[in-house]
Amino acid sequence: MADGSTLSRFDPYAARAQFPILSRTVNGKPLVYLDSAASAQKPRAVIDALTGAMEGSYSNVHRGLHTLANETTEAFEAARETVARFLNAESAEQIVWTKGGTEAINLVAAGLGQSLKSGDEIVVTQMEHHANIVPWSMLRDRLGVMLKWVPVLDDGSLDMAGLAALIGPRTKLVAVTQMSNVLGTINDVRAVADLAHAAGALVLVDGCQGAVHCAPDVQALDCDFYVFTGHKLYGPTGIGGLYGKRAALEALPPYQGGGEMIGTVTEERVTYAAVPHRFEAGTPPILEAIGLGAALDWFMGFDRTAVAAHEKALYDRVVDRLSGLNWLRIIGEAEGKGAILTFTVEGAHAHDVAQILDRYGVAVRAGTHCAEPLAKRFGVTSSARASFALYNTVEDADAFTDALIKAREFFV
């Protein structure tokens, strides 16, 4: 458990009160929302920002000369500045808007794919989300690029010695998650980057979970690319982005063609805009970006260390209460992991467990969590996952534990 002085700097009840949806009931029970690793709920600050933008000042951005266009462009680009500050990027010009982490990874894969050749190697880990596997697998199928897989150890930690052994002169990219969406494992991304850079390889970090729970600093991580998504950061869906070192971004060709990403267009020739706009073809996700900016401004108002301590305290409370139950298997127990509890119940399918928990108002995720190679590594076809966020409380943790113990009775 975290010490009281740390927890005293963060009030989860005050934070929770800012989320209108958390006051509702499900099946006659108070909602216990433990599915934030899939998508977080939205605070009033984000709801108001979206409503305000639609009601008070909305237009398309960049190309207009009228008042609404100027106001919306300022708000849109201010959100980019907010993301840069949140990630500690050197410049907002290193932030590319995408519709989420998946599109950001695909952007990098599409760009790198134009220079890779058969026999080049991409290193991925067994704990990656499908979004950080499939784009590289497509390059393997199309170009003959080789994928090398870093093992995951029994406790859910990354095999760093195995990683070092896989990186070689043909390695072009190492793709690694900062925090596993299944195991909660937090990887030493800087150590990964050092190994990759020593071999002349680039590093892409999937920060979709890490951005929420790890207070990322892209300069300290020394990653070449960092992807994130807004809907896990208490912001809207349909918005996320890509951070890249300036040289890494400038080396990528345009991802899509259309308006906004061009310099000039003639019948004979097209020139392209500078980064980041060269990667943002068409009308961008304007309202979504403004909403994400509001979410990050709100989120950065909290002591991130205290929030992490609170989430970990809830996780520890649940694990302590469930310890010694021989019908429960916890998957992922690496030291220093984040507050994600993935588990199986003996004799029960994870989908059935999730549906029974829902009867008690408890929302958890069930399935393979878009990480089938990891499920295979741990010998399961499905698992349930409870993920804790800053708005969860001790009452949530206890309600989940009580409901899980009751759910077991259905399978005995």
Q: What pLDDT is stored for residue 9 in this prediction? A: 83
Distance, CA of 47 to CA of 294 (rounded, Å): 9
Closest C-alpha among 45, 40, 4, 5 to residue 22: 40
Distance, CA of 287 to CA of 230 (rounded, Å): 12
Q: What pLDDT is stored for residue 8 in this prediction? A: 52
Sign of CA dihedral 336, 340, 341, 344: negative
357 neighbors 341 (Cβ within 8 angstroms):
no
Closest C-alpha among 315, 323, 376, 373 to residue 342: 315
Distance, CA of 146 to CA of 166 (rounded, Å): 12
Q: What is the CATH number of domain 4-30+304-411?
A: 3.90.1150.10
What percent of the chain stands above pLDDT 70?
A: 98
Q: Summarize pLDDT for 324-382 with one digit per residue, the tens.
A: 999 999 999 999 999 999 999 999 999 999 999 999 999 999 999 999 999 999 999 99
Is 6 a residue whose pLDDT tops 60?
no
Record the tokens describing residue 21, joined without a space. Answer: 């949806």
Bridge-based pairing of strands 340-345 and 328-331 is antiparallel
Q: What pLDDT is stored for residue 132 in this prediction? A: 98
DSSP codes, 127-143? T--GGGTHHHHHHHHHH
Phi-psi region of 128 (alpha: psi -120 to 50; beta: other; left: phi over 0): beta
Task: Count other C-beta atoms under 10 Å from residue 89's C-beta.
Answer: 22
Helices (H) and strands (E) in the chain, counts: 16, 17
Q: What are phi and psi of 405, to 5 degrees?
A: -65, -40
- Asked about 208 being catalytic, the answer comes back as no
Is 4 a residue whose pLDDT tops 60?
no
Distance, CA of 400 to CA of 154 (rounded, Å): 26
Distance, CA of 5 to CA of 289 (rounded, Å): 35
Q: Which one of the listed residues 208, 214, 223, 370 is annotated catalytic?
A: 370
Distance, CA of 386 to CA of 33 (rounded, Å): 9
CATH 3.90.1150.10 residue ranges for the chain = 4-30+304-411
Secondary-structure class of domain 48-299 per CATH: alpha beta
What is the amino acid identity at position 282?
G
Q: Summarize pLDDT for 51-95 with one digit per residue, the tens.
A: 999 999 999 999 878 999 999 999 999 999 999 999 999 999 999
The DSSP secondary-structure symbol of 235 reads: S
Q: What pLDDT is stored for residue 1 in this prediction? A: 38
Tell the residue number behind the tokens 């392209």, with chain if given: 272
Q: What pLDDT is stored for residue 284 in this prediction? A: 96
Q: What pLDDT is stored for residue 128 in this prediction? A: 98
CATH 3.40.640.10 residue ranges for the chain = 48-299
Distance, CA of 240 to CA of 208 (rounded, Å): 9
pTM score:
0.96
Distance, CA of 274 to CA of 249 (rounded, Å): 10
Q: Which residues pair with 147 in a beta bridge?
A: 122
Q: Summarize pLDDT for 273-324 with one digit per residue, the tens.
A: 999 999 999 999 999 999 999 999 999 999 999 999 999 999 999 999 999 9
Q: Is 170 exposed, middle or buried (0-12, 13-18, 19+ CB in 10 A)?
A: middle
Q: Which residues pair with 265 in a beta bridge?
A: 270
Q: Summarize pLDDT for 165-182 with one digit per residue, the tens.
A: 999 999 999 999 999 999
- pLDDT tier at 155 (50, 70, 90 boundaries)? very high
Distance, CA of 114 to CA of 10 (rounded, Å): 48
Is 216 a residue whose pLDDT tops 60?
yes
Record the tokens describing residue 54, joined without a space. Answer: 């639609």
Is 2 a residue whose pLDDT tops 50?
no
